[in-house]
DNA sequence: GCAATGACTGGTA
DNA sequence: TTACCAGCCATTG
């Protein structure tokens, strides 16, 4: 697998950050996950840790595919995320992600 | 090793 | 519907 080389693109990263970035990078377009779901999927840490990782190294992954449980995100990122969601065709509901429709099942083959 | 921080969550008012 | 509170846990100083 060449994805190992990707790990060298940035700084050392911890095992947790590595797992978060890896999972976020695997989220298919038009699909989103909540911070809590990412943490639960990894089996460790919590939603705050996921946010901390994305705030630190999120520039290298599709962070807009990770949103709050309400389908919203911080005002600082809302405009940017909205633009990406529209381009990728993500289900949107009144300036928020339509979680019931856009939430990723964890299976890339599910459509 | 300890204390503070934070792109969160769920419950209550 | 929005606003506020307490809990959670890895990372950083």
Q: Give pTM, 2 decimals.
A: 0.86
**For A23-63, what is each residue's pLDDT tens digit?**
999 999 999 999 999 999 998 999 999 999 999 998 899 99
Phi-psi category of residue A89: left, alpha or beta, with phi > 0 → left and psi -120 to 50 → alpha? left
**For A59-94, what is each residue's pLDDT tens digit?**
899 999 999 999 999 998 999 999 999 999 999 998
Residues with CB under 7 A from strand B: A 34-36, 46-52, 54-55, 58-59, 63-64, 66, 68-70, 73-74, 77
CB A50 within 8 A of CB A20: yes
């Amino acid at each position: 697998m060449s994805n190992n080389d990707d790990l060298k693109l940035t700084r050392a990263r911890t095992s947790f950050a590595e797992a978060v970035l890896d999972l976020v990078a695997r989220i298919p377009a038009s699909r989103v996950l909540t911070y809590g779901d990412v943490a639960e999927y990894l089996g460790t840490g919590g939603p705050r840790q996921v946010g901390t990782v994305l705030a630190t190294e999120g520039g290298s992954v599709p962070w807009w595919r990770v949103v709050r449980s309400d389908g919203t995100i911080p005002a600082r990122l809302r405009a940017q995320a909205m633009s990406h969601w529209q381009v990728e065709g993500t289900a949107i509901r009144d300036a928020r992600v339509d979680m019931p429709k856009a939430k990723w099942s964890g299976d890339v083959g599910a459509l």
